[in-house]
Amino acid sequence: MAADHSGPVPFSVEFFPPRDADAEARLWRAVRIFERMNPAFVSMTYGAGGSTRDRTVRIAGELATETTLLTIAHLTAVNHSVDELRALVGAYADKGIVNLLALRGDPPGDPLGDWTAHPDGVEYASELVDLIGGLGDFHTGVASFPEGHHRAPDLDADTENLVRKLRAGAEYSVTQVFFDVEDYLRLRDRVVAADPEQGAKPIIPGLMPITSLAGARRMTELSGSRIPADVEERLARAAGDGPEENREAVRAVGIDLCTETSERLIAEGAPCLHFCSLNFAKATSEVLDRIGVDTRGAFTPV
Ligand SMILES: Cc1cc2nc3c(=O)[nH]c(=O)nc-3n(C[C@H](O)[C@H](O)[C@H](O)COP(=O)(O)OP(=O)(O)OC[C@H]3O[C@@H](n4cnc5c(N)ncnc54)[C@H](O)[C@@H]3O)c2cc1C
């Protein structure tokens, strides 16, 4: 992450597996734009459904082999036996991917529903970190939660779990998207206090420029997180009282908010800014441009 970067801080971009050929073409347009901005890494999330899973592995492999981008593949334990997880790690390794984000995942269909482990699978992400560590020379990251994971009884239990995952061998964590920098700073302090050695590992903040208030509400609801009242108020004011939200105004506020968050995180020494792009390049690159990343020429057609 200390490698050469064209702005005040390294940044990274998250993509998700496209559903069809059109969405895949859009993803690749975004990938090529970001590639020219020299991100520290890109990551590809891992879907809950069967066909998306095959596509995820294929596209993550193409990111690793057909671009200059360092690729991190997400991996979840949902509906997988240990044998299948081993095979999946092997499939990534065959494509040259040695950077994995080890996650438990959520129950398919209802992310907030009851979690049931595969009978021959693993129960928690820490076990997945352990499993990957035993399979070869991989670099593993995990998820962290500035507001606490919604299933953790309290913030202490949540911190304990993150430390457990780091002790199991994870080298860094990437946070859930948040909108209050204080939550990130408090998480960082909690991990340092719980275990200074593990607390020295990077906690990479997850960011997302909001372009739709309804979309942001849905995302936070599904992930058990929240939009702070002041942020909600600014967005709601921009959205207006009409039957349809004013997307242009919401987008402008969303980009302002994400820029402010990014600037504060840079000032607080965040190691890298991780943007959930939703497979679009424009909103994130506007934020990057405003924080001083060189985005010139990134949109020039090749
Ligand atoms: C950066 C990031 C990327 C993500 N990418 C994806 C993705 O690609 N695909 C996807 O489906 N989902 C993804 N998610 C969502 C993630 O899978 C969910 O948030 C999931 O609910 C938690 O996953 P975890 O890896 O943190 O689980 P864990 O660390 O296993 O924690 C799950 C819960 O169990 C508790 N727990 C853990 N270990 C123990 C223990 N030993 N004893 C008691 N309780 C314990 C924890 O406190 C927590 O409440 C991502 C989340 C983040 C933040």
Q: What is the pTM of this model?
A: 0.97
- For residue 160, what pLDDT is reported? 98
Ligand 1 within 6 A of CB of 208: no
Per-residue pLDDT for the chain (302 aa), expressed as one digit of tens each?
A: 545 666 789 999 999 999 899 999 999 999 999 999 999 999 999 986 666 788 899 999 999 999 999 999 999 999 999 999 999 999 999 999 999 999 999 988 888 889 999 999 999 999 999 999 999 999 999 999 999 999 999 999 999 999 999 999 999 999 999 999 999 999 999 999 999 999 999 999 999 999 999 999 999 999 999 999 999 999 999 999 999 999 999 999 999 999 999 999 999 999 999 999 999 999 999 999 999 998 988 887 65
What pLDDT sits at residue 300?
74
CA-to-CA distance for 205 and 184, rounded, in angstroms? Answer: 7
By residue count, the chain amounts to: 302
Ligand 1 center from residue 1 Cα (angstroms) = 24
What is the CATH architecture assignment of 11-291? Alpha-Beta Barrel (3.20)
Q: Does ligand 1 lie within 6 Å of residue 152's CB atom?
A: yes
Q: Which atom of ligand 1 is nearest to the CA of 174?
A: 1
For residues 77 and 103, the answer to whether their CB atoms sit within 8 Å is yes
Check pocket membership of 104 for ligand 1, CB cut-off 6 A: yes
| CA–CA distance, 263 with 94 (Å, rounded to integer) | 39
User: What pLDDT score was predicted for residue 87?
Assistant: 97
Q: Is 157 in the pocket of ligand 1 (CB under 6 A)?
A: yes
Query: What integer pLDDT is reported at residue 47 of this predicted model?
Result: 83
pLDDT of residue 52: 77
**242-to-48, 104, 172, 251 alpha-carbon distances in Å:** 35, 40, 44, 16
73 touches 44 (CB < 8 A)? yes
> Does the annotation count 260 as an active-site position?
no
175/238 Cα distance (integer angstroms): 27
Whether residue 179 contacts residue 261, with contact meaning beta carbons closer than 8 Å, is answered with: yes
**CA distances in angstroms from 117 to 106, 121, 266, listed in the order given:** 10, 6, 38
Distance (angstroms) between ligand 1 centre and the Cα of 71 equals 21
Q: How confident is the model at residue 156, as a pLDDT? A: 98
